Copies of this chain bind each other. A is one copy, B any other.
Amino acid sequence: MARTRTKRSRKLGLPPGSLVHLGERKTATPGISLIEFDAGGLIEHRFESIEASRNFQPRHKTVWLNVHGLHDPEVLAEIGSRFGLHPLVLEDVLNTDQRPKVEEYGDYLYLVARMLTMNAEGSEVLSEQVSIVLGANFVLSFQERPTGTFDALRERLRQDKRHIRAEGADYIAYAMLDVMVDHYFALMENLGERIDAMEDMLLDRPSRELLHRLHELKRVTLHLRRAIWPLREAVHQLQHASSELLRPATQIYLRDVYDHTVHLLESLDTHRDLLAGMLDIYLSSVSNRLNQELRALTVITTLFLPAGLIAGTFGMNFHNMPLLDDAQGFFIALALMVGVALAMAALFWRRNWLG
- Taking Cβ atoms with an 8 Å cutoff, the residues of A that contact B are 1, 3, 5, 7-9, 11-17, 86, 88, 92, 98-99, 101, 103, 105, 152, 156, 161-162, 164, 175, 178-179, 182-183, 185-186, 189, 192-193, 196, 203, 208, 211-212, 215, 218-219, 222, 226, 229-230, 252-253, 255-256, 259, 262-263, 266, 270, 273-274, 277-281, 283-284, 286-288, 290-295, 297-302, 304-309, 311-330, 333-334, 337, 351, 353
Chain B residue with the shortest CB-CB distance to A249: B86
Which chain B residue shows the least CB distance to A353? B293
Q: Is the CB of A211 within 8 A of B329?
A: no
* Copies, count: 5
CA distance A92 to B260 in the complex (A): 11
Q: Give the distance in Å from the alpha carbon of A298 to the alpha carbon of B293 in the complex.
A: 10
CB-CB under 8 A from A196, the residues of chain B are: 3
Contact yes or no, A288 B288, CB < 8 A: no
* A100 CB, min distance to chain B CBs, angstroms: 10
The answer to whether A295 touches B295, judged by C-beta atoms less than 8 angstroms apart, is no
Q: Indicate whether A327 sits within 8 Å of B316 (C-beta atoms), given known contacts A218-B273, A293-B353.
A: no
Closest to A112 in B: B259
B334 touches A330 (CB 8 A): no
Is A211 touching B281 in the complex (CB atoms < 8 A)? yes
Q: Contact check, A189 vs B8: say whether CB atoms are below 8 A apart.
A: yes
- Nearest CB of B to A149, in Å: 10
Report which of B185, B266, B294, B321 forms a contact with A330, defined as CB distance below 8 A.
Answer: B321
In the complex the two chains form, is A292's CB within 8 Å of B295's CB?
A: no
Cβ contact within 8 Å between B323 and A330: no
Q: Which residues of B contact A99 (CB under 8 A)?
A: 259, 262-263, 266
In the bound assembly, the distance between CA atoms of A311 and B314 in angstroms comes to: 8
Distance of A41 from chain B, by nearest CB (Å): 20
Q: Can you name 15 A-B residue pairings with CB atoms under 8 Å? A: A12-B183, A86-B252, A99-B259, A101-B259, A286-B288, A288-B290, A290-B291, A291-B291, A291-B294, A294-B298, A298-B298, A304-B308, A314-B318, A318-B333, A320-B327
